Amino acid sequence: MIKNIITTTSLLVAISTSAQVAIGKTEISNPDVSLEFANTENKGMILPYVETKTGITENGSIIYDITDHKVKYLKDGSWFDLSVDTTGQADLSIQSTKTEQATAKTVIGADGATNNTSGILVLSDTNKAMILPKVESPHLNIIDPAPGMMAYDTNKRQLAVYNGSVWTFWKP
């Protein structure tokens, strides 16, 4: 509990002092990055669990849809399945004790104080990107992945997405 409070406080302090954020490392590797994760451990990033996506209208949003256990991406107002598996079943018990605060929001970027885009984590810079956690062979090295987890596979050089049942890989 204390560790979570310290981590959250550190993240909030980092966000309020800079338009660029590094998590698990001391500095950003590139000036074109808004958010970057360290690649020293076998961990990924977990997407928001969403029951009702009708209120999400921002193109580029990525979610874990718990109604059909799929990772989805919003493009031109339509949702696209990034998990490609129709049999995925996820253990959602981790979420059963969690409650969402409707006003919870973190904005990283130059217009953070004035950005009105809805979302839990909004990267508002128009000239910077996010770097996912880098993991060699995440399907082998992330021992207990959570549904909706994403990482960059440094071995295959692909996006790895876990839907609660299987890993899928996306390359450019």
What range does the domain containing 38 cover? 19-170
Mean pLDDT, the chain, whole residue set: 76
131 lies in some domain = yes
Residue 7 forms part of a structural domain: no
Residue 165: pLDDT band with limits 50, 70, 90 = confident
More confident residue, 120 or 151: 151
Q: Pick the closest to residue 78 from 61, 92, 95, 97 (CA basis).
A: 61
Q: How far is CA 69 from CA 27, 45, 56, 97, 132, in A?
A: 35, 16, 17, 19, 21
Residue 74: pLDDT band (50, 70, 90) is: confident
Q: Is the pLDDT of residue 85 over 50?
A: yes
Q: Is the pLDDT of residue 149 over 80?
A: yes
Whether residue 8 lies inside any domain: the answer is: no
pLDDT of 166 reads: 86
Q: What is the mean pLDDT of residues 4-28?
A: 62
Model confidence band, residue 141 (pLDDT cutoffs 50, 70, 90): very high
- Using an 8 Å Cβ cutoff, are 15 and 108 in contact? yes
Distance CA 72, CA 162 (A): 12
Query: Does residue 10 belong to any structural domain of this protein?
Result: no
| Domains: count for the chain | 1
Its pTM stands at 0.62
Q: What percent of the chain has pLDDT over 90?
A: 5
Q: Is residue 4 part of a domain?
A: no
Instruction: Copy the structure tokens of residue 15.
Output: 């966000």
Let me know if residue 13 belongs to a domain: no
Say if CB 21 and CB 96 are below 8 A apart.
no
Task: For the beta carbon of residue 56, count every other beta carbon within 10 angstroms.
Answer: 16
CB proximity list for 148: less than 8 A, separation 6 or greater: 46, 47, 48, 49, 63, 64, 71, 90, 162, 163, 164
Q: Residue 7's pLDDT is what?
A: 52
The pLDDT, as a whole number, for residue 54 is 86
Please name the residue ranges forming H helices in 18-165.
Answer: 138-141
Pick from 111, 119, 149, 135: nearest CA to 57: 119
pLDDT score for 16: 46
